[in-house]
Amino acid sequence: MSLTEAGAGPAAELPFFVYGTLLPGEPNHDLFLRGRTTGERRAVLPGALLYDGPGYPYAVEGHGAVHGTLITAVPGVYGELLGLLDHLEEYLGPGHPRNLYERVIRTVEFPVAGFPVAGFPGVGFPEAGEAGEAGEAGDGGPEVPAAAGEQPVRAWVYLAAAAVTRSLRTSGILIPDGRWVTGRPPPPGRRTP
């Protein structure tokens, strides 16, 4: 069942799952999240696919998993952060025809290094030192590794709006492993090996 903002109630101060330009080290992280988060942890969104967009990714419902970061807002700035992220993601309200993304509630998991996400064999975080491992988180301090058996949490996630999803499913570029860093072109002026 899909929960949207209407089903969450007005006081639902949930964390946010981010998977693209808001990740630590990406351009929008410092612009929108620096000083506004108390914690940032690697997480996985099961039941989703990641597509490469022009300059940023889109997650859509699907049989896969998207890797990202769960962020928690600093007490007292939740409303400000929610407004900033809604504006960035061009979210105008539930089902609005001009939405680029829909803000929905989904369950995210904290995989332990080397262990798969429940129900998604082969989807997990690499062991320490393997390619794709994130370093320290942003303002929230160092990342806290997941403990075995840690419970999933509900979070706000920006998924591609209906019209965008239709377009992606017919002509989009799927990022097979669900990691934005592997689908992103190198920064301008940088050569690839």
Q: Could you give the CA distance from residue 158 to residue 28 in angstroms, rounded to a whole number?
A: 15
- For residues 64 and 178, the answer to whether their CB atoms sit within 8 Å is yes
Catalytic: 89?
yes
* Bridging pattern class, strands 101-108 and 116-117: unpaired
**Predicted pLDDT of residue 54:** 72
Which one of the listed residues 40, 89, 102, 109 is annotated catalytic?
Answer: 89
Q: Kindly report the backbone phi and psi dihedral angles of residue 183, in degrees, each rounded to the nearest multiple of 5, phi listed first.
A: -100, -5
**Predicted pLDDT of residue 88:** 96
The type of residue at 99 is N
10-residue averages of pLDDT along the chain (193 residues): 43 88 91 93 96 89 96 94 96 95 96 52 41 38 50 96 94 92 46 36
**Predicted pLDDT of residue 55:** 72
Counts for the chain of helices (H) and strands (E), in that order: 5, 9
Per-domain residue ranges of the chain: 3-182
3-182: CATH topology: Hypothetical upf0131 protein ytfp (3.10.490)
- For residues 73 and 81, the answer to whether their CB atoms sit within 8 Å is yes
Model confidence pLDDT, tens digit, residues 170-180 = 999 999 999 98
Q: Could you give the CA distance from residue 104 to residue 5 in angstroms, rounded to a whole number?
A: 6
pTM of the model: 0.75
Report which DSSP code applies to 80: H
**Predicted pLDDT of residue 99:** 96
DSSP string, 119-171: TEEEEEPPPTTSTT-----STT-SPPPPPTTPPPEEEEEEEEPHHHHHHHHHH
Place of tokens 């390619």: 131
**Predicted pLDDT of residue 70:** 97
Strand, helix or coil at 6? helix
